[in-house]
Amino acid sequence: MFEEIIKYEHINYESTIAVWASTIIWTCFYNFVRYLLPDIPFTHPEWKTNYTQSFLMVFSLGYFIYDLIWMYLFELQQEKLMITHHIYCIVALFKMLFKGTSGAQATCALGSMEITNPFLQYRWFIRSEGMYPSALHSAMETTFYIIFFLVRIVLGSYYMVVILRQEHNDVDFIFLALAIYVISWMFQINIIKCILVKYGFVEKIKYN
State the residue range of the domain holding 23. Answer: 2-198
Quick check: helix, strand or coil at residue 44?
A: coil
> Is residue 204 one of the residues assigned to a domain?
no
C-alpha angle 67/13/88, rounded to 5°? 15
Tell me how many domains the chain contains: 1
Asked whether 80 and 27 are in contact (CB, 8 A), the reply is: no
pTM, full prediction: 0.82
Determine the residue type at 30.
Y
Task: Return d(Cα 168, Cα 13) in angstroms, integer.
Answer: 45
In this prediction, residues 41-60 reach a mean pLDDT of 82
Q: What's the pLDDT tens digit per position in 67-91?
A: 888 888 776 666 789 999 999 999 9
pLDDT of residue 189 exceeding 50, the answer is yes
- At 7, is the pLDDT very low, low, confident or very high (cuts 50, 70, 90)? very low
Which of 67-82 are b and which e, b meaning 16 or more Cβ less than 10 Å from the residue's Cβ? bbebbeeeeeeeeeeb
Which of 159-187 are b and which e, b meaning 16 or more Cβ less than 10 Å from the residue's Cβ? bbeebeeeeebeeebeebbeebbebbeeb
> Is residue 206 one of the residues assigned to a domain?
no
Q: What share of the chain is helix, strand, coil (3-state, %, to 5)?
A: 80, 0, 20
Residue 84: what pLDDT?
Answer: 94
> Is residue 205 one of the residues assigned to a domain?
no
Residue 192: what pLDDT?
Answer: 94
Q: What's the pLDDT tens digit per position in 19-36?
A: 767 777 767 766 666 666
> Is residue 36 one of the residues assigned to a domain?
yes
Q: In whole numbers, what is the pLDDT of the chain averaged over residues?
A: 81
> Is residue 203 one of the residues assigned to a domain?
no
> Is residue 28 one of the residues assigned to a domain?
yes
Alpha helix ranges (H) inside 36-134: 51-73, 80-99, 103-113, 117-128
> Is residue 125 one of the residues assigned to a domain?
yes
Going by C-alpha positions, the residue among 25, 161, 177 that lies closest to residue 102 is 177
What Cα–Cα distance (Å) separates residue 59 from each residue in 65, 134, 150? 10, 35, 25
Task: Return d(Cα 170, Cα 152) in angstroms, integer.
Answer: 22
Residue 2: what pLDDT?
Answer: 34
Q: What's the pLDDT tens digit per position in 110-161?
A: 888 888 888 888 887 788 778 788 888 889 899 999 999 999 999 999 989 9
Q: Is 186 left (phi over 0), alpha (psi -120 to 50) or beta?
A: alpha
Task: Return d(Cα 62, Cα 125) in angstroms, integer.
Answer: 23
> Which is more confident, 49 or 91?
91
- At 206, is the pLDDT very low, low, confident or very high (cuts 50, 70, 90)? low
> Is residue 207 one of the residues assigned to a domain?
no
pLDDT of residue 5 exceeding 60, the answer is no
Share of the chain above pLDDT 70, in %: 77
